[in-house]
Chains A and B, each alone.
Chain A
Amino acid sequence: MKSILPITTVSMAIVILWYGFSVVLNSTWTKDQASRAGVEVTFSEILKDTMVQQRPLLPAPHQVIIELWDTTVNKKITSKRSLVYHGWITLSATLLGFIIGTGLGVLLAIGIVHNKAMDYGVMPWIIASQTVPILALAPMIIVVLYSIGLSGLVPKAIISAYLSFFPVSVGMVAGFRCPDPTQMDLLKTYAAKKNQLFWKLRVPISMPYLFTSLKIGVAASLVGAIVGELPTGAVAGLGARLLTGSYYGQTVQIWSALIGSAILAAILVGLIGLIQKHTLDRMGLAR
């Protein structure tokens, strides 16, 4: 309960700052309109106008909240105007990409930990893969996959997996390498097999690393799915909302899609956090 005060303080500060910027940024348009009409505007009129513009440079927080409410609660979830509908499209690609990415990341980590050649041969490529901007890569992945008949969910999931396997593989390599020499020697004295060493020591000791990697991975998956939606012609998904919003100057829509995806990411990370807490509690590792 001690954390409530600092959290509210920070949130309040952000909201106040946001309102301040809304006023400053949107006032230009108000003044332009006024000078074109040849009228003088008072400060209170400017203040009032910057809060309710149709296409504000920076929508005020309450405009975004109203838009969020309107497009989630007040629309049928099957409607193309529903943020829940678009959110689900993105979420499904995110989850599929996250599963593929996590699986790939863990498999690579297993290979790297057990095989010197893989350690030297594959690790540099894994790191290089992340230095290529995903925005440049995404359209090519979509085009290539389309030519072999894949479109829709799968290409987005693959882009999402491309971003999420990295934190998982790097994190799990570190996790699997955690055991200290005595812990390894102990199993050696039991003449344990390699797979027993893996399951009895490397896997449990790497659990804290796994959850940290999954949290980063799932957030990266969401970014990947959204990026994957941009070059597809913006049919559906949070990425599409962002894109159509920017086509038509619908800044309120853009910001509500942004906040929507932030909320989605927070929920996903929070869920993994819950599983983490439960698992580590049971393992006696959460003190």
Chain B
Amino acid sequence: MNSTVVMGTESVIKARKLGLVFQTKDSPVEALKDVNIDIEQGDFVSLIGPSGCGKTTLLRIIASLDKPTAGDITVNGMTPEEARLQRAYGYVFQAASLYPWRTIAGNVKLPLEIMRFSKTEMNERVKKVLDLVHLSGFENKFPWQLSGGMQQRASIARALSFDADILLMDEPFGALDEIVRDHLNEQLLELWKSTGKTICFVTHSIPEAVYLSTKIVVMSNRPGKVVEVIESSLPRERPLDIRDSPEFIEIAQRVRMGLRMSHSYE
């Protein structure tokens, strides 16, 4: 069932029998069990599932923010921790989590300061990524002066600023309204095409997952497991109205079926 590694492409993220058990006061909670995934260079992979299925946990393990208790995982052929120390990925959190005492430019600069880029390089990169997310002209605004959608775009710019090959996104548009979300989805696709990054994207929206992804990982809860991996047959070029095409609807159907099979409502 799992896609085998295609000749010539190396898995950027590869997990085998990955598991994580949280020790809580009353009883251990199995957040992830026997998870196998392969994410290749340039993939746009969505992790979709009901809340509590461990999709965020999986993303945090890839980012080495959480440690698995079973199984193996490599990122760029290294342990996640080694990859993190080499700054292999940019992470976008559910909330924009911009530092309120820094301007938009200051926030985008934060990783660059930590990675000790030169001043001229910093300014160039800030300008470039703010351009990329259409936030030019807002450099000197403070986060609270921007709308929620703009804040999230700034946080994406921040994750892009140091040009890591992998972008990990944890429900970045979850708190935004439908109109803004559509718009940002379009922009994200554009960005993915122009930068060629590998993106791992957590969502609980079926249309969002189908619209964006080349590969959709459907997960179930208690314990968090991968139920199905759906390879999208949609072309890379995706105008918004592709969502009305029969192909799109068929893939969405498959995702919905996968979620329904796995999901008990007790």
Contact = CB atoms under 8 A, between A and B. Distances in A.
A287 interface: yes
A192 B87 CA distance: 10
The secondary-structure label for the interface of chain A is helix
Contacts, number: 53
Contact of B101 (A188, A189, A196, A204): A204
B142 A284 contact: yes
Given A189-B63, A190-B114, A285 B100 contact: yes
Interface in B166-213: none
Contacts of A186: 91, 93, 97
B84 interface: yes
Contacts of B91: 185-186, 189
A3 interface: no
Contacts of B102: 204, 284
Contacts of A207: 101
Given A187-B114, A189-B91, A284 B103 contact: yes
Interface string B87-98: 101110101010
B103 to A, nearest CB: 7
Interface residues of A, number: 20
Nearest to A183: B97
Nearest to B164: A189
Contacts of A7: none
Contact of A185 (B65, B100, B101): B65
A201 B144 CA distance: 18
Interface residues of B, number: 25
A246 to B, nearest CB: 49
Contacts of A191: 84-87, 114
Contacts of B87: 190-191
Interface in A194-239: 196, 200-201, 204-205, 207
Contacts of A183: 97, 99
A63 to B, nearest CB: 50
B111 interface: yes
A284 to B, nearest CB: 4
Given A204-B99, A285-B101, A189 B90 contact: yes
Interface string B103-125: 10000001101110000000000
Nearest to A192: B114
Interface in A163-205: 182-183, 185-192, 196, 200-201, 204-205
A283 interface: yes
Given A190-B111, A196-B114, A200-B114, A284 B97 contact: no
B115 A190 contact: yes
Nearest to B140: A284
A187 B110 CA distance: 9
Contacts of A201: 99
Contacts of A287: 144
Contacts of B90: 189
A61 to B, nearest CB: 45
Contacts of A187: 114
A48 to B, nearest CB: 61
Interface string A269-287: 0000000000000011101
B101 A284 contact: yes
Nearest to B63: A189
A271 B20 CA distance: 54
Nearest to B97: A182
A189 B99 contact: no
A198 to B, nearest CB: 12
A91 to B, nearest CB: 32
9 contacts: A183-B99, A185-B65, A186-B97, A187-B114, A188-B65, A188-B84, A189-B84, A189-B90, A190-B115
Q: Which 10 pairs, one residue from A and one from B, show the smallest C-beta to C-beta distance?
A: A284-B142, A283-B101, A189-B91, A182-B97, A190-B111, A190-B114, A191-B85, A204-B101, A192-B114, A196-B114
Interface of B: 63, 65, 84-87, 89-91, 93, 95, 97, 99-103, 110-111, 113-115, 142, 144, 162
